Structures are given as C-alpha cells and as structure tokens.
Structure 1
C-alpha cells in the first residue's frame, strides 16, 4: 500500500471517528440530563414509600423513548397524539360493524363465564355488566391485546419531556410504588404510549384511586385478575358520577331542519323536549326516560347517526375523552343485549388531515367562534364552531370539516 493511500485511509478513519464522536456527544448529554432528572425524583419516591433498592433496580439503565407521541423536544417539531385511532379515523372506520359484532359475541360468552363477579359488580357499583365488559373489550380485546410499551419508561419519558410533566412526574413515582409493592412484575407492566396499563387500561394514579380487590386474594391485580380489573373499571365510573339505571345515550332521527350547532354539552334539555322539537327516537321512551336531561351528539355533523346523550355518556367520556371511544363502548354494551346495529348508517364522509382541521380551529379562534384546544381534532366544540362559521359565511350548515369550508376560510383571510 502506498504512503498516499495509507494517509488517505488514516484521514478517512479520523473523519469517521470525529463524526461518530460529534453525533454521540448530544446523545450522551441527553442521557446524562435524563439520569439527573431520574435522580431528582428519589426524594418524592421515598416519601411515597418506595424503597431505595426498588428505585435503584428499576431505574438502572432506564432510557427515555423519544419516539412517543405528545413530547416537546428541543430542536424538533412537537410530537402530537394524533396517532390515536379515534382522532384520525372517521366514525365508520372506528366503530366498525364487524368488530362490534365480534366483540359483542365474545362479551356474551364472557358474561356467562364471569357471571358471579359481574353480579357483585352491578350490586356494589351500579354499573351494568355489559358496560364493564365493553370497556375491557375496547381497551385490550378481552385480554388478547398486549400493550407495546414498558410503563416505567413511558411515564418517565413523559415526565421528562412530555406536555404534562407535572402529572407524569406523579405517575412515574406511583409506577415505582406499584413495582415496589410487587403488584405486578416489570415484564408484565406494559402500557399504551400514555402510560395506561392492565386489562382495562389504568394510569398508575387511577390504580390507586379506583383499584378493587374483588377476588379477595389480598392485592389489586388489574393485569391478570378479570374480577379485579372489571370491578376497578366499574369503581372508576362510579367514582366519576355513574348513575345506576340510566342509559348512556339514545339514537334518534333528527328533523330535516336540525341545527347541528346545538350539539354541545352545554345545551341540555329533557329528552321529551327534544322529541317535541322533532327528534324521533329509534326506541320507545318511557315517561321517566323522557324526563332525563340530554345533549345532542352528531359525530358526523348532519350526516350519519344522531344521539341524545345522558349524564352517563359524559362519565364514560372521563374514562377516555374521545366521542368515538364513548360511542364504541356504549354501542358495544348495547349489542351484548340487542343485535340491532345503528338505525342510521355512517356516511362515507372523509376526515381532513389533522393540519387542515388545526388551520380551521385557528381561524375559528381568531374570529371568536372557538376557545378550546388547537389540536386538529373534530370534536364536539370544533363541529359546533364550524357550523356557526358556515352560518355566518352563507355556506351549507353541516358542522363537518370539509375542503369547501377550508377554502372559504383561506379566501376570507
């Protein structure tokens, strides 16, 4: 090998070494900063009852997961939570008839298998067996689905660089406490990207707030014990205001001139009043049911099914804030008793990209029609604000984000 070739090789090797060192330095700095953050949690973990042995064992080698949604990372665009299916799919894709039918059949079989536990749950918490089974079915496909993430890593990452650092600092400490108490082995402590774990998906704080030892073995095990998981889900609903004997919602056929901007939680009337205004219930309502206050819900604006939702609808919404999630769980619960699908089919409407809905929300906020989060999700308040804009702009009022509405807003700007 000639001297010039050897010199060239040495230069190349040196360049590669410098490049490697240059790339790894920020990573080492980030790891050191994360380790410092973890160490800073120890006094609070100790105050919560976590042993030093557990703290050292479980945090040794712990690294952040920067691929999680909902993070705020320096030098990078903020990662959103838009990967959640309920926020990027139209209702027809999320509340799939084939999926509902399969889970309802499974639920009916499981209702017989766990009848004794479900009877106790209904008696103690007032929550129907079908409702807690529906939560289990939606969250983990009746235990067939295993969450992909290590819970401790998730909550530590969210506490370090997430949008809700203070909340997740508490979740991190309580996750350590769960491990310290031996409630679950680390290998089984799997979660969603947001840190929800177990058969019915609880955050660590929810485990301590609502956990129930229904099987009487001396510990709350929401990961392996079906009675414990279902009872804990029922207690969470009860603690958040579940009203026994009250339906979650009623499907209705709206009048042709329906004002879809009324579809917000604040507009509540007795069911009978909605019926007198032209809303036709799919099922006959008793006088007691007609006296119940309800809000209008039109998940696809004036298209697709319409519902009058009771207070229990909003209790389920506290379990998961997505309207489509509540519709899925509520409808699945109903289907375990009745085989009837929604009377009105979902339409074939398409959802705009998240960025387009975000742009709409920003425009609506600028003109004073929208005051909620800018998140690119076409929820209740966004749909109502879109309807108000359509009224003011002389457009067809359907309370649904469409390319035509987006173009109108761009022209107005």
Structure 2
C-alpha cells in the first residue's frame, strides 16, 4: 500500500535524522538551549510571559530533528525537501478515498450531537454538515492520535525551520495560551506541524477563534465536543462565511465555454453563468436566492473530471486549508452527511504517469512563457490549470486545463 504524503515527508525526515551524527545532534541541542535562554526567552518576557511558565513549557524539551523542513546548522537545504518533488503525482480522485468514513461518522454524530450542532449553527451561521465534515477530516471526530508536544515541535521549527519567523509567532502564541488562557502545557498535544487539538488549530488561531461553548470557563479543543464544534464554526464565520449561501454545485460545463474561465478572479453572477449554458448535473435549477450571488468556475481536474460552480463560501473553506481538493472534500462530505448519498455525477479521469518534479519543471517553463502558475511547486492549482489551458489554446490544441504525461513532456 502506498504511503500518504504526510507519511512520506516524515519518513524522509527520519532518514535524514539517522544521517546526523550523535556529536552533531548534541551540538544542536546545546545551541537550542542557548537560543531558548538568550533569544526566545527575552521576547517572551517582553510579551508578558512569566519565567515560571516559560520554564514549565520547555522543561525537558529537545529539538526534534525528525521533523520535516528543517535547516540544520551548516546545511543549505531543508532536511525534508530532498525527496519532495520525487513523489508520484496523485490524481484528484485519490484525495476522496476516505470520504466514506467521514460521511458515516458524520451521520452518526449528527444524531448524537444534534442539539449542540443546532445551537452552533444558530449562533455562527455555519451549516452543521460543514462543521462535521471539517471535524472528521481534521481529527477523525477526535479519534486521531495527536502525539507531539507542541513546544517541542514549534520550538524546533522556530529554531531550525525554513519559516522561522512564522513558527516563532506560533510558539510565542502557545506560551500565551498557557499564561493567559490557563491551558496546561502537558495538555497541548499537536501534530508534527504544530496544529492543536480536534480542530487542528495553530496557536495563533486558537487565541483568535477557540470558543468556550460548554460553559466551563475554558476553550478546550482537545476534550470538549461543544468547544470543538463551535471553534470550527467561529473560525469560518470570522473569515466571512456567508450565511444562507451554499458552498457550490456540480455542473455541466458546455463545450463552448473554455476551462480557462476558472478562478476566483473571474467570478460572475450565477444568473450569468446559467445564461451562458451552465446547468446543474442534478437537473434542478440553481436556488433562486443564489442567482444574484457571485459564482466561480472550479475544475479540480480540468476537463478530466467533474466541474463545479462554487460560491464565496468555498474560499472560506480554503481559508481553513489552502487546497481546492480539501474544500471540495469538505463541501461534498457535508452534503452527503446531511442530504443523503449524493455522488459526483461526472467521473474522475485517470491522470497518471508523472511526478511532482515533472509538474514543477512544466510550471517553470510556463512561467518563462509569461504565465502565472501560482509558483513552481509541483502542485496543480487553478492558476496552473488555466495556464495549461491557455498554452493549449495558443498551441492550437483543445484545452483540457490539466496535465497528462504527454503534456508534461511537451511543455518543457
């Protein structure tokens, strides 16, 4: 069985860790302790953190060199990046393989926590299905193991990661959680990326969006289901979730409409899209209250898969996780949890035969030709998809707005 991407990144990091000599590890640990006392502590103190809190948080903490994206002293490349672009490109369909478990688990919890979900939806305006789908995706409804000490993870990354400044803010926010919110350092279990609890909030997000919904005086996103559900909904509401609007609809995209019309910067009223021939795959009309609202074409697999007309709420889901497929997974799972066994009508095409490195090379070439691909990262974002479509149109090909093995070789 193929390992998931997270497992792959961690396995690469563990191999790199094994290559670090014991003497070098000892030297890094010593430098880490010096950094804590002479660099991080003065800033923490200036932000109102007590020395007792600081010492308690970092008691026994050593840098975890198994984490990905670290730059070790004397090295110029991140420890987790050497194999990053060697991964086989995964077609979009693979992302939806675990959706059945999220749907069944969500339906069970819809019954179990119905009153809480109703109260959360009433207060924040975010549909209960969306909240359940995020809860399931992020932590398996609280059942996933969250194994790491957050101060070990964030301390290591603030000291050694490629994005030190970001993680420095996060570790200082984690200290503030202890100082001002009364969260026990021992309770602050996180993912390998430093995301906390059942909603998988970074510490800065916890400080902004975590909610005490069960009334016990603390926002407990590790153990309290009401606090977890309300915190997820509060995050989306604070980012601009539009109450009463859907997240999106699977559509039939007419052949005469170019796939290069995709993107949040090319929105039109849904009424205008229908005038251009866009229809729902279900055969139902778009809801009347949606017609005057803006909609955006979203083609996660270009012409090789289902097409969607999404609303601004789709991009609020992307605020939670900056991935088209994540937002689509959550929206689709939410529909199936609440409304029944709805499936994508258009099948996902089989797109295989190349690696992320090959995609990144193709992106660099498209950039050289003047296209905005959103960065040569080996990921096929909407900017990369429509850049491919524009290249295909200019080359006299029927645009698919998605790479295949032959196209990857052509655009080099």
* TM-score, normalisation: structure 1: 0.87
* Aligned: 1:376 with 2:374: no
Counterpart CA distance in 2 for 1:227 and 1:59 is 30
Q: Mean alpha-carbon deviation: is it higher for 228-237 or for 86-95?
A: 86-95
Structure 1 counterpart SS, 2:411: helix
Q: For residues 266 and 125 of structure 1, do their structure 2 counterparts lie closer, same or farther at Cα, with a shift above 3 Å needed?
A: same
Question: Segments of 4+ in structure 1 off by > 6 A?
Answer: 81-84
Q: For residues 70 and 373 of structure 1, do their structure 2 counterparts lie closer, same or farther at Cα, with a shift above 3 Å needed?
A: farther
Matching residue of 2:357: 355
* Alpha-carbon distance, 1:69 to partner: 2.7
Counterpart CA distance in 2 for 1:26 and 1:76 is 16
* Alpha-carbon distance, 1:147 to partner: 2.3
- 1:211-261 alpha-carbon deviations (Å, 9 max, x no partner): 110000001100000100110111110100001010001110111233111
* Alpha-carbon distance, 1:75 to partner: 2.5
Counterpart CA distance in 2 for 1:351 and 1:82 is 18
Matching residue of 1:309: 310
* Alpha-carbon distance, 1:24 to partner: 4.0
- 1:3-50 alpha-carbon deviations (Å, 9 max, x no partner): xxxxxxxxxxxxxxxxxxx94443333222222222211122223333
* Alpha-carbon distance, 1:174 to partner: 1.6
Counterpart CA distance in 2 for 1:123 and 1:108 is 19
CA contact (8 A) 1:133 1:333 kept: yes
CA contact (8 A) 2:262 2:386 kept: yes
Counterpart CA distance in 1 for 2:101 and 2:374 is 36
Match for residue 369 of structure 2 among 354, 367, 374: 367
Structure 1 counterpart SS, 2:296: strand
CA contact (8 A) 2:373 2:384 kept: no
Structure 1 counterpart SS, 2:43: helix
Matching residue of 2:46: 47
Q: For residues 225 and 23 of structure 1, do their structure 2 counterparts lie closer, same or farther at Cα, with a shift above 3 Å needed?
A: closer
Counterpart CA distance in 2 for 1:371 and 1:292 is 27
How many positions carry a matched residue from both structures? 386
Q: Mean alpha-carbon deviation: is it higher for 113-122 or for 294-303?
A: 113-122
CA contact (8 A) 1:260 1:387 kept: yes
Q: Mean alpha-carbon deviation: is it higher for 172-181 or for 192-201?
A: 172-181
CA contact (8 A) 1:69 1:83 kept: no
Structure 2 counterpart SS, 1:299: coil
* Aligned: 1:391 with 2:393: yes
CA contact (8 A) 2:351 2:404 kept: no
Structure 2 counterpart SS, 1:206: helix
* Alpha-carbon distance, 1:52 to partner: 1.2
* Aligned: 1:289 with 2:290: yes
Q: For residues 220 and 87 of structure 1, do their structure 2 counterparts lie closer, same or farther at Cα, with a shift above 3 Å needed?
A: farther
Matching residue of 1:340: 342
* Alpha-carbon distance, 1:81 to partner: 11
Matching residue of 1:7: none
* TM-score, normalisation: structure 2: 0.87
Structure 2 counterpart SS, 1:294: strand
Counterpart CA distance in 2 for 1:87 and 1:192 is 24
Structure 2 counterpart SS, 1:41: helix
Structure 1 counterpart SS, 2:302: strand
Q: Which ranges in structure 2 are unaligned for 5 or more consecutive residues?
A: 1-19
Counterpart CA distance in 2 for 1:121 and 1:38 is 40
Counterpart CA distance in 2 for 1:349 and 1:371 is 19
Structure 1 counterpart SS, 2:198: coil
Q: For residues 70 and 276 of structure 1, do their structure 2 counterparts lie closer, same or farther at Cα, with a shift above 3 Å needed?
A: farther
Matching residue of 1:6: none
Q: Mean alpha-carbon deviation: is it higher for 245-254 or for 169-178?
A: 169-178
Q: CA RMSD in A?
A: 2.4
Q: Which ranges in structure 1 are unaligned for 5 or more consecutive residues?
A: 1-21
Counterpart CA distance in 1 for 2:22 and 2:334 is 52
Matching residue of 1:9: none
Q: For residues 253 and 229 of structure 1, do their structure 2 counterparts lie closer, same or farther at Cα, with a shift above 3 Å needed?
A: same
Counterpart CA distance in 2 for 1:342 and 1:175 is 41
Q: For residues 183 and 146 of structure 1, do their structure 2 counterparts lie closer, same or farther at Cα, with a shift above 3 Å needed?
A: farther
* Aligned: 1:161 with 2:155: no
Matching residue of 2:15: none
**Which of 1 and 2 has greater Rg?**
1
